[in-house]
Structure 1
Amino acid sequence: MRRRLINTTLGVVLVVVAVLGVPLAFVETHAIENTAGDSLKAEAARILEVVELRMASGEHSDAALLRRQVEPHRYAIVRLPGDPPLVIGDKPSGRVFEKTMPGEMGDSVTVGEPRERVTTKIRESLLLILGVALLAVAAAAALAVWQARRLARPLTDLAETAERLGSGDPRPRHRRYGVPELDRVAEVLDQSAERIARMLTAERRLAADASHQLRTPLTALSMRLEEIIATEDPEIVKEEAAIALSQVERLTDVVQRLLTSSRRGSGGRDPRNISAVTVRVDDVIQQQIDEWRPNFREARRSIRVEGERGLTAVATPGALSQVLATLVENTLMHGAGGVNIRTRITGTSVVVEVEDEGTGVPDELGARVFERAVSGHNSTGLGLAVARDLAEADGGRLELLQQRPPVFAVFLAAHPEEPHS
């Protein structure tokens, strides 16, 4: 491409030089000859005037007198009727350039100079034109090389960017080159890189969230199935099967929410949750108590519910269950002592607090506890981050109210008919 741009530019410049330079050379040659001829005619006319004035007064023309009228490098020939030609100056032996002015009395004056003087002026003028033409070609060559590099380098850079995108490196480079068309291509590639990066991030986030969020429901479901296998009491089997079925429904809801979150993270639909409904908070909490009581009994720890009863909130049942499951699981894995789940209403929000008697959240993690990959107990660091996302998707929020002992609170929008305190 560089060679093509250089050759094209030089070709155009050479054509322009040829089209303009050749006619200019002819015009300049003709102009120099005309100027030299006019100068000779003017000098011959001046000498002729002196000669005719002397003839009118009856005097003869004197060579010494006329010599002062002739330029040093020129010569003059005065022809008078009945007299031999009067030569003033030295006539060269080579080619000459002459102009003759005839008089009214039959006389005439011829003035000339060596042809070489006119040829020298023509040669100097042509050399000047040639020099300007060569300078223009050199400048055009330098400009062509610079322009070729200016255009080829961005194209090479854009090709490398496209290759990086194809190889799985979606980092945008944010480079601009001062050429509108190339800058537009670079902008499109940067936008594509950002979209690819969001898609890859969403996929990785989906994989991490799925592995974390599905672990708890699958573990609880496995425990229920083990209870069913271990017992022969039909009533217990029926009860455990009902709980297992609700856990399957919750598992399905978790998968659906993960897929929705993935589409939202990759630039999909509106992030507002349109599946939120009015839920009875007591029912969701009781479901979590039933699921986690065997684990707490095995760990010889207690879990109980306190606070106001009969509260309703606007939320997604599966999402609220998953948020509470994350908080309860954290108290079981990282906390100590009994676990209290308190419900209350404040302003326009229904608040569900989860507290245990453990050492709490370290000071260095207090402000970052909800960030992804932040953990003080060698865990994945995803649980609280995903739980906060689930709460915010329903228009609520998840906060750390107290570090020691740890108190996490879920704030949900109260049902419009809920009394406010």
Structure 2
Amino acid sequence: MRQRVVRVALTAALVAVVLLAVPLALAIRSSLYADQRDTLERAALSGAVRVSPDYTTGDPVELPAPPAGGRLGLYDPGQRLRAGTGPRPGDSVVRRALAAEVVRGRSGGDLVVAVPVSHAERVIGVVRASSPASAVRDRVLLVWAVLAGGCALALTVAVLVARHQARVLAVPLEDLSRHCQAVTAGDLSARAAPSSVAEIDQVARTHNEMLHSLTELLRHERDFTANASHQLRTPLTGLQLTLESGLAQDDDARTRAALEEALATTRRLHGTVEEVLRLSRSRGLARRPAPDASVPRLLREIEARWHGMFARDGRRLEAGALGVADDVRVPGVPVTEILGVLLDNARVHGHGTVRLMARDLGEAVAFDVTDEGAVGGEAPLLFDRGHTGAEPGSGIGLSLARDLAVSLGGRLSLTGRRPTAFTLLVPVRQEETDSEGGY
């Protein structure tokens, strides 16, 4: 921006200088030449007044002093020099002046003015005044040099003023840009500082007001999430304690199996609440890494959890890993939640056999969830909150799954419409220590 402001100001100043200086230079040249010719004419007239008609009979003529650096001479009708200085014989200017007219012209590199001398309505001579044209040219060049210096000074001042104004305009905008970068980095307390430019101050105030509103909205959203999570965790903890107490007191095998399944479901729900709360707190801030889990073990646990639900619907669930080693690890809880959303969508909206396959891509693991159904509508809308399938609805599962994938540095996308296929890409973590205990 600074260079642009300087270029605009310099261009405007240059155009103004050209439009003013060029006509002024031409006017100065014309004026200096005209002044010199007027000086020569006055000298010639002064000499003509002093010429007596008797000079033709030998009476001496006393001409005034010639112009500085010039010559002044008296010529008779035969164009012979009778007094003063000048060319011998007279030139074309003298010849033209003998026709009873004042003549201005050039001759041999000189500016020349010839004035006729009349007596009894007859021209009896010509007074010729001349000076070198180079002297006037030197004066013109000198004045032009001064004018060029003035123009250069004006352009220099214009550049300095333009740079100052560019700095005045650019510094607040650069500060505003740094402020926006700080906000992008997660510093929601940053505010744009006022400047000396009213328009930029208005933008800064509007930006600060917008940021304040967004900060308040985000604070209310996080407070709501924290409150909701707290209200959910308390009854979930109580339910877990009740189920654990029931397991300790009940010896019936069938009841014990149901209690164990309910307790496992309660623990998974508790993990889901914790992960949603973690995601809400990490938006726009540094993410806290989730506990890792081995990919093969993760698939076995997911298959064991979902197999019964698909079996009750008369459908099959197949899970497997293609070339994924046991030391390839991914964040356990969020990946489980994302795959849970995809499997639940396949169970509710899909048809036929559901397949969950993991593929090793080197620096990432791809989880493919496919079924024998079809999906309609625009692909981006599937991940918008409030859309279910091809029609608007209240679904938030895919939107939450996408946010969880982004929080992991991964990506969730629709990779097939018929049959339906979703692919989750997750960066892998290979560690020597065992961190599965957090999953």
TM-score (structure 2 length as normaliser): 0.43
**TM-score, normalised by the number of residues in structure 1:** 0.45
